Structure 1
Amino acid sequence: MSSIQAAHWYANPAARVWRATPPGSALQFHRTIAGYTPTQLTELPSLAHELSVGRVFLKDESNRMGLPAFKILGASWATCRAVSRWLGLDPQAATLPVLADSLAKVLTNPHDVTLVTATDGNHGRAVARMASLLGVSVRIYIPEGVSKSATEAIADEGAELISLDSSYDEVVAIASESTTSHPLDFLIQDTSWEGYVDVPQWIIDGYTTLFAEIDESLDTLGLTPDLVACPVGVGSLAQAMVDHYRSGATRPRLLSVEPVTAACVATSLLAGEITSVEIEAPTIMAGLNCGTPSTIGWPSLLNGLDAAISVDDQESRAAVADLAALGQDAGPCGAASLAGVRAALADPARRDALGLDTTSVIVLVSTEGLAANPLDNR
């Protein structure tokens, strides 16, 4: 167990030559969900001037199918895959109405099915939303440190909430144990461990829709990204980013950003192996407050990330405020991307390591809106 002492920086000069296995695509399924539309990719010229690069874009996940974060992309696809497997359906042909109708046909009461997960907030709300859409039950386990507003938002989706005075990792284990011997409990967890890899991989496959949308939006402008930066907790979204870009023709530099108090990915990359970190204090970046990287994502993170950096709460707060001044709705986790890019590019050696110059195109992935994790509740 490693204890966080200071900010981290990691760089891998060989990352862009590594090739990943092409991930499964959930884009067609997402397009069948009522309310689906690609989220905004907004250009922010003032940030390009500040960072001395060509163009900066923000991928805004503050409203993804009516939820204030991107997590519904993974939760919806993983739920589709898990329920389809149980029903014996082809997930590539499945839609939400097909799944709901099929459950109603085989069960006297569809609420006998329960979706289960542990969460810092956004993932749990997304799983709860999927349960509501399917007409099934949902049970959500919550660790200490989750804001009151995030907890209330999950409850408003109709979820049974179980709040525990425990760390995120401990709560994940408790949620998993709760499904033992309950065949109609489906664990939809966004981190993996030995013996539990299918659902986390489906969640990651669902996240790749976000990056496919970025490519489509930039392509209309005749652009490709030179750097894509995203926040990381256990590393699932970062794995989706790596797998998407390291299996396609576009090969931007890829940067992960996490809290200095919970920098499990950067710490592990620096150690060359998965390393748990002791979380000594909560962070306003609550969705990133994770102590151990996902094992399923580790090979992609180790081989395909160009760089990893950690930032503190003050840097995240400043990024939230600056994006708000530009009319962008970003919570502390989402704004971490800007905070991380600022910290990286402020150092000439790190800028060189990322291969950036005055013509470079940067994409900042903002994973949540402020409603998902309000600063005034922290």
Structure 2
Amino acid sequence: MDQETASVPASAPSDSWYARPAARSWTCAPPPPDAWNFHTALPGYAPTTLHDLPSLAAEFGVARVFVKDESTRFGLPAFKALGASWAIDRIVARHAEDSAEAGSSGTPLRLVTATDGNHGRAVARLARRLGRRALVFVPDGVHPSAVAAIEGEGAEVTAVPGSYDAAVRRAAQAATEPDSVLVQDMAWDGYEEIPTLIVEGYATLFTEVDAQLGAAGAPPPALVAVPVGVGSLAQAAVTHYRGRSTPDAARGDAPSAVLSVEPVTAAGVLASLRAGELTSVPTGVTTMAGLNCGTPSALAWPVLRDGLDAAVAVTDAATARAARDLAELGVSSGPCGAASLAGVRAALIGGGAAERRAALGVGSGSTLVLVSTEGADANPQA
């Protein structure tokens, strides 16, 4: 079999799957521990729950399935505060140092961002706690209650006709105004430093998973499924699992595979992998609003190109079913968070599943980790 495959789940469109088993031989430097040390020292820090779900293990024919539940991260219903908190801490500290060197108290920074919901609320919450202003741009399709939640954190919200990419462009423009700074997890040429900090912040999630699996007596995961918007969380996952110490061969450990999951209406990472270059795709309407991004982050792309094992695109119907199933199992998950379960179902079940399972290195003794990035209340739908 070629190292690159294009087998297709029976229920998905013909271009919904990509795998590259050779990615597991790629390595990189591990993420620095600074963000982990910062997060664990914050008041109220606690690892989010890792649910052990035997019924899903039986469904997938594997040893164990865990769901990392990000519905209660730092009092917010999504994982985004991990990246935003670390980046904003570094931004504010640097601003204070620059002001001190200039011999002035400095003008408080205005934090600017674009969002499909959760990232903007995290930036707004942190700005409020630090006594800073926040300006948040939102594209079409963001639910009014999500906008209200951002405004409830004290931020100024500006609606942008068009896509998430259009909102990012407006935010970048606004951030050029005096005493403003852009806090975006999407990178492009000339804007890499802050997205790098955000990705470093996301690494805390996977460090927690390592400790929680160890406490549960489980080996490192054979497969980790991550919902994808611009790809920054997937970048953090790949960096974590490709940068960690060599798996223990004596225990039978093998390198973990990372699977990205996107909406069929906004599968920019999948399209880029298939094209072999960073590619933008037009976006459509999806309940997975937080994943409705047509252009992958330029910072994430080289890491995903070389180190991501597989990508799959899923439908709104598939994520709706997954969210209902997770709710019955006691896991609060919105459409974006439930995408990981929908993606694993598309990869491991149905026509051609044997080939896809082989590409991912998943067998009957495997442990799987599904990242549920948001709670059911994080991304309300009409």
With normalisation by structure 2, the TM-score equals: 0.90
Deviation (angstroms), 1:83: 1.6
1:229 aligns with 2:225: yes
Q: Which residue of 194, 198, 206 corresponds with 1:203?
A: 198
Task: Give the equivalent residue in structure 1 for 2:338.
Answer: 335
Task: Give the equivalent residue in structure 2 for 1:58.
Answer: 67
1:217 aligns with 2:212: yes
Task: Give the equivalent residue in structure 1 for 2:145.
Answer: 149
Instruction: Give percent identity, aligned residues only.
Output: 55
1:165 aligns with 2:161: yes
CA RMSD, 1 decimal? 1.8
Distance in 2 (CA, whole Å) between partners of 1:292 and 1:303 is 18
1:309 aligns with 2:338: no
Report the residue type matching 1:162 in the other structure: T
1:16 aligns with 2:27: no
Distance in 2 (CA, whole Å) between partners of 1:354 and 1:242 is 14
Task: Give the equivalent residue in structure 2 for 1:248.
Answer: 244
- Partner of 1:372, secondary structure, is coil
Report the residue type matching 1:84 in the other structure: A
- Partner of 1:88, secondary structure, is helix
Deviations 1:137-164 (A, max 9, x none): 1110000000122111111111001011
Report if aligned partners of 1:6, 1:260 keep a CA contact under 8 Å in 2.
no
1:73 aligns with 2:89: no
Distance in 2 (CA, whole Å) between partners of 1:188 and 1:145 is 21
- Partner of 1:166, secondary structure, is coil
Task: Give the equivalent residue in structure 2 for 1:321.
Answer: 324
Distance in 1 (CA, whole Å) between partners of 2:162 and 2:264 is 20
Report if aligned partners of 1:262, 1:288 keep a CA contact under 8 Å in 2.
yes
With normalisation by structure 1, the TM-score equals: 0.91
Deviations 1:196-246 (A, max 9, x none): 000000000000000000001011133211111010001000000001110
Report if aligned partners of 1:230, 1:365 keep a CA contact under 8 Å in 2.
yes
1:348 aligns with 2:343: no
Report if aligned partners of 1:7, 1:260 keep a CA contact under 8 Å in 2.
no
Distance in 1 (CA, whole Å) between partners of 2:183 and 2:42 is 19
Report the residue type matching 1:124 in the other structure: G
Unaligned runs of 5+ in 2: 1-11, 248-254
Go from structure 1 to structure 2 and tell me whether the alpha carbon gap of 1:215 and 1:106 turns closer, same or farther (over 3 Å shift): farther
Distance in 1 (CA, whole Å) between partners of 2:119 and 2:69 is 17
Deviation (angstroms), 1:7: 4.7
Report the residue type matching 1:64 in the other structure: R
Report the residue type matching 2:291 in the other structure: L
Deviation (angstroms), 1:32: 2.0
Report the residue type matching 2:358 in the other structure: D
Report if aligned partners of 2:160, 2:166 keep a CA contact under 8 Å in 1.
no
Aligned residues: 356
Q: Which residue of 7, 29, 49 corresponds with 1:40?
A: 49
Task: Give the equivalent residue in structure 2 for 1:300.
Answer: 303
